[in-house]
Amino acid sequence: MLRARVLTAGVLLPIALLVLFVFPEDAFAFSVGLIVLIGAWEWIRLSGVVNRLVTLNLLIILAGTLVWSYYLPLIHVSVLLSIGCIFWIGAAALVIIYPRSKKQLGGRRMKIGFGLLVLIPAYVALLYLRRHEAHMLLIALLVTIIWAADVGAYFVGRQFGITKLAPHVSPGKSWAGLVGGMVVALIVGMICVLIVQPAGQFFSPIAWSILIAIIAMTVVFSVLGDLFESLIKREQGVKDSSSLLPGHGGVMDRIDSLTAAAPIFAFSVFVTGWPVL
C-alpha cells in the first residue's frame, strides 16, 4: 500500500505542478475541468446513482456548466464564489450536528445538488486565481496552505489529539490537529509569500494582517471540505470515493480540502484586493 501510494504521488506531483504553474490559461481550465468531471463522477456514485445513462447525462450537464462558467464576467464570478462560501457555512452546520443532520442530507437528488455546490465554485475559484495578475503567488499560497495544514494536523494530532473535532464524521481528526495545522500553515504560508513575492515589492502591515486572516479562514474551510466528503462517504458506507488512484483512493479524496478552501480563498482575495494593498 505504501509503495503504491508513493508511486502514485510521484506520478501525480509533476503533473499537478505543470497544470498549476506552467500550463497556459486555456490548458489550465481544460485540465482542472477534467479533474472536476472525474470528481463529479465519483460524487454521483457516492450519491447512490448507479444508472450509467443518468450518470452520463449529469456529467454532460456539468461539462456544459463548466464551459458556461469559463466565460462568466467578473461580477458573476464573485456571485458564484459567494454562493460557494455560503454553501460551505451550511455544510459546516451539517457536519457539526451530524448524525442529527441525516434528514437534511436528503436523498440522491439532494446529494447531487451538494456535489454541484462543491465542485462548480471550486472550479470558478481556481480559474479566477489563474487569471489574476498575481496568479503564481496566489496559487502557490493556496496549495501551500492546504498542504501545510494537512501535514501539521497529522503530526500534531497524532501526538496531542485527545479531543476529537467531529467524532461522528471523522474520528481521526482532533482539535489539537486543527490548531497544529493552523500554526504550521501560517508559518509556511508567510514563508511562501516571502519567497514568491515579486522582487522589490514589500507588503504593508495591513497586507500581512489580511494575509493571516485569509490563511486562517482557508485552513478552517480546508478541514471542512475533508469532513463534508467524509460525511457523504459515511452515509454511503464507503472508505474512499473510488479506487482510481492506487494508495490514495479517488480524486475527491485528494481534492476534498481544495474544493472548500479555494472558494473562500478566492473570495477573500476578491473582497480585500490582496496582495495589492
Residue 91 lies in a domain: yes
Residue 150 lies in a domain: yes
pLDDT for position 6: 67
Residue 11 lies in a domain: yes
- In order along its 277 residues, the chain shows pLDDT tens digits of 556 666 777 888 899 889 998 999 999 999 999 999 999 999 999 999 989 999 999 999 999 999 999 999 988 999 999 999 999 999 999 999 998 998 888 889 999 999 999 999 999 999 999 999 999 999 999 999 999 999 999 999 999 989 999 999 999 899 999 999 999 999 999 999 988 876 666 788 899 999 999 999 999 999 999 999 999 999 999 999 998 988 788 999 999 999 999 999 999 999 999 987 5
Question: Would you say the pTM of this structure is higher than 0.85?
Answer: yes
Gap between the Cα atoms of 92 and 43, Å rounded: 18
pLDDT for position 12: 84
Residue 10 lies in a domain: yes
pLDDT for position 4: 67
Consecutive H or E run containing 171: strand 170-174
Domain count, the chain: 1
75: cell is 461580477
Residue 277 lies in a domain: no
Containing domain of residue 30, as a range?
2-272
238: cell is 464507503
pLDDT for position 241: 92
Gap between the Cα atoms of 232 and 154, Å rounded: 22
Residue 172 lies in a domain: yes
Gap between the Cα atoms of 258 and 221, Å rounded: 9
Query: Peptide bond preceding 73: is omega within 30 degrees of 0, i.e. cis?
Result: no
